[in-house]
């Protein structure tokens, strides 16, 4: 098996995504690589497409952002949870999830284009912030 060869700018984009440790838009990424000679949105989109095609990053359709995540097995299905408040992303990559999806699709005559299911909701931290118990402060007793 031959080793994947990335150009210097492709490697720079991948490194920036890895260092971000969060999803980032193509335009925000373009701003970060402009000092390295990348100027056009077309250029950044080509690089992102190549990195995605090699299974080095994920495109999150819901957010229209990209995330460094190396796919171990391109045939596995991923469950991606996205917090609608803080945009925290968590990924579940399990053979059991893949098996359930494949069993569900076997009788549907359906060939999925992407192997990523995105779920929107609230992460535990944002949920707990919004759902703190209401504590009524009583007035001081007159006396």
Q: Which residues are annotated as a binding site for Zn(2+)?
A: 83, 86, 123, 126
User: Which residues are part of a known binding site for Fe cation?
Assistant: 115
- Please state the three-class secondary structure of 51-83 as a single string: HHHCCCEEEECCCCEEEECCCCCCCCCEEEEEE
Contacts 24+ apart (CB under 8 A), 126-134: 126/83, 126/85, 126/86, 126/88
Look up tokens 């490697």; give the residue: 11
User: Which residues are part of a known binding site?
Assistant: 83, 86, 115, 123, 126
């Amino acid at each position: 098996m031959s080793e994947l060869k990335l150009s210097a700018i492709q490697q720079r984009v991948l490194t920036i995504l890895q260092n971000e440790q969060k999803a980032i838009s193509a335009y925000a990424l373009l701003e970060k690589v402009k000092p390295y000679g990348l100027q056009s949105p077309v250029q950044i989109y080509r690089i992102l497409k190549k990195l995605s095609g090699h299974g080095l990053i994920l495109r999150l359709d819901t957010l229209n952002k990209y995330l460094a995540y190396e796919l171990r097995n391109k045939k596995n299905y991923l469950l991606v949870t996205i917090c609608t408040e803080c945009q925290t992303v968590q990924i579940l990559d399990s053979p059991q999830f893949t098996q359930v999806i494949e069993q569900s699709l076997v009788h549907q005559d359906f060939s999925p284009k992407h192997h990523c299911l995105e779920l929107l909701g609230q992460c535990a931290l944002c949920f707990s912030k919004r759902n703190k118990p209401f504590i009524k402060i009583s007035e001081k007793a007159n006396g």
